[in-house]
Amino acid sequence: MAQDKADLVEMLRKMILIREFDLLAIELRKAKRIYGALHPYVGEEAIAVGVCAALRPTDRITSTHRGHGHCIAKGADINRMMAELFGRVDGYCKGKGGSMHIADFAIGMLGANGIVAGGMPIACGAALAAQLEDRGGVAACFFGDGATGEGEFHETLNISSIWKLPLIFVCENNRYGAGNAVESVRRVTDIEQHAPAYGIPGVAVDGNDVLAIRDATAQAVERARCGDGPTLLHCKTFRWLFHAMRDAPQPDMRSADLLAEWRGRERDPIARFEDWLGSQSLLGPGELKTLRDRVKRDLDAAVEFAEKSPHPDPNDLLVDMFAE
């Protein structure tokens, strides 16, 4: 793929923004300024950004409960995302969805989803629409390792293979399905091995290498656009933080050594990409600081935007129930 500097730096900006957005959301939730449940994407930023870098703006994606990263990577407006977390009328869902149900149909982001594997058939439908439209569009569905235990995973692999749908299956294997380590709930942990059983390619990728993910996605997209059908990408990563939090994060039962290994500069997807960009003379220390300052300013502005937006009027409770 082309190594255009502006594109690469934009990928890094999105990765940093995703991480800082979620770290900020955790603090906002602890301070009870936002509500409900949060599922941070920290440590997995390379996958959303790498995949979306290989998609067109008109391509469609579905997301998961851990969905803020997918929104930002697909180009969502963080002001409206933040307003949604604050439950305000200027949020993407006018405060009706919250963290687990952010969607932006205008940019092809067909929704975060609180049900494991729930978005997979919907992505399959978006891929069918792309096939029928015949304009070279594709769909991508993000899902975790936990989703591979659901019937919807197997059903959509099979049906999309039969119909040669332009669909990219993106398994974000962060090694935990809620509180369960992947090896405690699966005999086969090489998720890509499911692909040949359904007659499609399965590709294992370093889930913390944003360029490897972008390139693997680009190949899958090319195959999909040619009418050759879906691909299963197995992106191996690690969930840095807890599965979910409400008032407070769940206690982390994992060993300190394991956490330190994955959070170190060698494996951290953002640090790795920063270092690579530096080694290629594509990003100097000054530029990195400018980028990080911009992310902070944008997030401060998003919080200000959200707080200025009013809460919905209870009289509008039934608005949006049915279309005309």
Q: Which of 64, 61, 63, 80 is nearest to 21 (CA)?
A: 80
Told to check if 124 binds other proteins by CB under 8 A, we report yes
Dist CA 99 CA 66 (whole Å) = 8
Question: Would you say 73 or 110 has its CB closer to other proteins?
Answer: 110
Angle between helices 210-225 and 5-30 (to 10 degrees): 110
Specify the residue, 16 or 116, whose C-beta has the smaller distance to other proteins.
Answer: 116
Q: Which residue, 63 or 208, has its beta carbon nearer to other proteins?
A: 63
Q: How far is the CB of 101 from other proteins (least distance, A)?
A: 5
Nearer to other proteins, 21 or 198 (CB): 198
Are the CB atoms for 80 and 91 separated by under 8 Å?
yes
Instruction: Give whichever of 15 and 112 is closer to other proteins, judged by the CB atom.
Output: 112
* Residue 92 within binding range of other proteins, rule CB under 8 A: yes
Q: What does the alpha-carbon distance between residue 286 and residue 292 come to, in Å, rounded to a whole number?
A: 10
Of residues 26, 28, 51, 30, the one with CA closest to residue 40: 26
Q: Kindly identify the residues of this chain, within the stretch 41-60, that bind other proteins according to CB under 8 A.
A: 60
Nearest distance from C-beta of residue 109 to other proteins, angstroms: 10
Q: Which of 175, 183, 182 is nearest to 267 (CA)?
A: 175
Residues 6+ apart with CB under 8 A from 58: 108, 135, 137
323 touching other proteins, by CB under 8 A? yes
Q: According to the binding rule CB under 8 A, does residue 314 interact with other proteins? A: no
Question: Which lies closer to other proteins via its Cβ, residue 2 or residue 321?
Answer: 321
Q: Which of the ranges 23-31, 99-107, 215-223, 239-247 carries the binding residues for other proteins, by CB under 8 A?
A: 99-107
**Roughly how many angstroms between the first and final C-alpha of the chain, as a whole number?**
45
Say whether residue 218 binds other proteins (CB under 8 A). no
For residue 12, give the 3-state DSSP assignment: helix
- Rounded to the nearest whole angstrom, what is the least distance from the CB of residue 96 to other proteins in the complex? 5
The percent helix, strand, coil of the chain (3-state, each to 5) is 50, 10, 40
Stretch that binds other proteins, among 93-101, 212-220, 237-245, 250-258 (CB under 8 A): 93-101
Binder of other proteins out of 11, 110, 291, 303 (CB under 8 A): 110
Q: Which of 60/272 has CB closer to other proteins?
A: 60
**Burial bucket for residue 98 (CB in 10 Å: 0-12, 13-18, 19+):** buried
Minimum CB–partner distance for residue 306 and other proteins (Å): 15
The residues that touch other proteins, with contacts defined as CB under 8 A, are 60, 62, 91-97, 101, 103-106, 110-111, 113-115, 117-118, 120-130, 132-133, 139, 151-152, 155-156, 158-159, 162-163, 319-324
